[in-house]
Amino acid sequence: MPTAAGAPTPAQLSAIAALVESARPVSDELGGRFAEHGRELALVGGPVRDALLGRPSHDIDLTTDAVPQRVLELVDGWADSVWTVGIDFGTVGVRKKNLQLEITTYRSESYSPKSRKPDVAYGTDIEGDLLRRDFTVNAMAVRLPAGEFVDPFGGLADLRAGVLRTPGKPEDSFSDDPLRIMRAVRFAAQLGFDLAPEVADAARDMAERLTIVSAERVRDELTKLMLSPDPRRGLGLMVDLGIAPYVLPELPKLRLEIDEHHRHKDVYEHSLTVLDQAIELEHARGHEPDLVLRLAALLHDIGKPKTRAFEGAGRVTFHHHEVVGASMSRKRLTALRFPKDVVSDVSSLVALHLRFHGYGKGEWTDSAVRRYARDAGPLLERLHILTRADCTTRNRRKAAALARSYDDIERRIAALAEQEELDRIRPDLDGNEIQEILGLKPGPEIGKAYRYLLELRLENGPMEKEAATEALRAWAAEHLSS
């Protein structure tokens, strides 16, 4: 039972009742089914926490004293479908009508010093199960079908205080599953909570243990952090607690040493500010949280440490840092096992993020604007946001001038797109027509001719077929003569 300090308020009791109600027929039918056979069943973890916070939750996580084989027997004839992918870890998946739930046997799990997979042992009581959970705010439960609130470790009090604390010693918790170190900073970003001092100290001291956790599990936590309402909070904790070197080692390296003779913008703080501003623009433009955009905003300048050079009069340069940064982004995200399309899109945005700075006050020709849009392709809207977010100058006049210039380029792109469907630009003659006009079979010469016509289209806009044919023949006479 909860301590007095953690007693639910009437509003929170209503939230618990609403959670039980939302889980029907699980709460009544399945809870009753387990009780009839002398087994316990309880809602646990995130759904309980979110209900008490007034946050929406689409998960139904259940815990029980029944071992997995017994769970399968108890849901037989009740569940519409069952899956056993996680049964080795004590979890049975169940679907009932439109509800999808996971039922996990009371358990404890731990990592041996060099193992990447936990050893699982089943428990017999709910308090022991809650003790092995990551944080007290996730160690609360609601027994079914009675609806009794269970909070043996003061999770409700920590929820009210906005503090992440472990049910037992944090060193034991992080040793059992080092990924909880990443979960701590992720929940800080997701919920806006602080780490209890002892949790922060343990995370700092044990950060190296993350090296035994699979890249996929680390990636999943980093993804949730990046998609949270305040990723900067979690990323800052990763750097301050020494976690980042084992996840994103490039991030703390952005803290470049600056001396009085060679001044330049703090790249680390600049990158976090760009991320903040990209998120603001993401919201302002009506977009959902975008992992690709947010990763690109965070990583857009990671090539600067490798390209920094000192020149005369205290000048610092970072020539080609976008090229180097694109390569570094690809390497890091690949190592973290991000999907290939995410890796490709983020590295492309990093490579493109400086392109706009040649625009000046609108000196680009229409062909240059077309190339800008063509090179961005489906990433154009993200590039718009990233480029705007990359302006962190405190000089209001300069910031306003950059904003006007980018307003202008967006206007021109929209106008050109309306005129000629810019996102589907193709040469005025296709490959078959090129072969027929030049009397050639498929081969490298056709590719060269195609690229020539594409450049011609970008330079001049759409051409009539006769004009394109004449231009192609003239080009071929000069470049393809035997």
Model confidence at 40: pLDDT above 70: yes
Mean pLDDT of 233-238: 98
Model confidence at 450: pLDDT above 80: yes
Q: Which of 198, 215, 247 is the last residue in one of the domains?
A: 247
Residue 168 and residue 153 in one domain: no
* Residue with more model confidence, 121 or 12: 12
Asked if the structure places residue 257 within a domain, the reply is: no
Cα 395 to Cα 411: distance, rounded to the nearest angstrom: 24
Least confident interval from 195-209, 211-225, 449-463: 449-463
Residue 50 and residue 122 in one domain: yes
Asked if the structure places residue 380 within a domain, the reply is: yes
Residue 469 and residue 411 in one domain: no
Cα 425 to Cα 459: distance, rounded to the nearest angstrom: 12
Asked if the structure places residue 475 within a domain, the reply is: yes
Asked if the structure places residue 256 within a domain, the reply is: no
Q: Which of 140, 158, 176 is the last residue in one of the domains?
A: 158
Residue 467 and residue 401 in one domain: no
Least confident interval from 3-7, 101-105, 313-317, 404-408: 3-7
84-93, 239-248, 473-482: range with highest mean pLDDT? 239-248
Mean pLDDT of 137-148: 93
Q: Reading across the β-sheet that carries 81-83, which strands appear in turn?
A: 81-83, 91-96, 99-105, 61-64, 41-44, 141-144, 149-150
Q: Find the DSSP H helices in 207-338.
A: 215-226, 231-240, 267-284, 291-299, 304-307, 321-335
What percent of the chain has a predicted confidence (pLDDT) above 90? 58
Asked if the structure places residue 254 within a domain, the reply is: no
Residue 132 and residue 167 in one domain: no
pLDDT of residue 420: 62
pLDDT of residue 315: 78
* Residue with more model confidence, 365 or 352: 352
By residue range, what is the domain housing residue 327? 266-424
Residue 96 and residue 187 in one domain: no
Q: Could you read off the pLDDT of 106-139 as tens digits, one per residue?
A: 986 555 666 656 666 788 899 999 998 999 999 9
Q: Could you read off the pLDDT of 264-280 as tens digits, one per residue?
A: 568 999 999 999 999 99
DSSP codes, 369-396:
HHHHHHHHGGGHHHHHHHHHHT---S-H
pLDDT of residue 258: 57
Mean pLDDT of 99-112: 80
The three-class DSSP label of residue 142 is strand
Binned at pLDDT 50, 70 and 90, residue 75 comes out as very high
User: Distance of CA 295 to CAs 48, 275, 389, Å?
Assistant: 31, 8, 13
The tokens for 482 are: 């035997």
- Phi, psi angles (nearest 5°) of residue 100: -120, 125
Residue 119 carries which side chain, given as an amino acid letter? D
Mean pLDDT of 74-91: 92
Average pLDDT, the chain: 89
Give the HSE-up count for residue 399: Cα atoms under 13 Å, Cβ half-sphere.
Answer: 8
Asked if the structure places residue 242 within a domain, the reply is: yes
pLDDT of residue 17: 87
Residue 45 carries which side chain, given as an amino acid letter? G
Contacts of 270 (CB under 8 A, 6+ apart): 301, 392
Q: What is the pTM of this model?
A: 0.81
Q: Could you read off the pLDDT of 405-421 as tens digits, one per residue?
A: 889 989 988 888 776 66
- Cβ atoms of residues 434 and 450 within 8 Å: yes
Model confidence at 387: pLDDT above 90: yes
Asked if the structure places residue 184 within a domain, the reply is: yes
Cα 250 to Cα 380: distance, rounded to the nearest angstrom: 26
Q: Residue with structure tokens 């904790």? A: 237
pLDDT of residue 291: 98
Residue 376 carries which side chain, given as an amino acid letter? A
Residue 10 and residue 139 in one domain: yes
Asked if the structure places residue 261 within a domain, the reply is: no
CATH code assigned at 202: 1.10.110.30
Binned at pLDDT 50, 70 and 90, residue 426 comes out as confident
Q: Residue with structure tokens 């023949």? A: 473
Residue 418 and residue 440 in one domain: no
pLDDT of residue 415: 85
Residue 114 and residue 204 in one domain: no
Residue 420 and residue 450 in one domain: no
DSSP letter for 29, please: I
Q: Which of 214, 247, 280 is the last residue in one of the domains?
A: 247
Torsional sign, CA 95, 96, 99, 101? negative
Residue 328 and residue 443 in one domain: no
The tokens for 249 are: 């080692």
Residue 137 and residue 1 in one domain: yes
How many domains is the chain partitioned into structurally?
4
CATH code assigned at 135: 3.30.460.10
Q: Could you read off the pLDDT of 239-268 as tens digits, one per residue?
A: 999 999 999 999 999 987 554 444 556 899
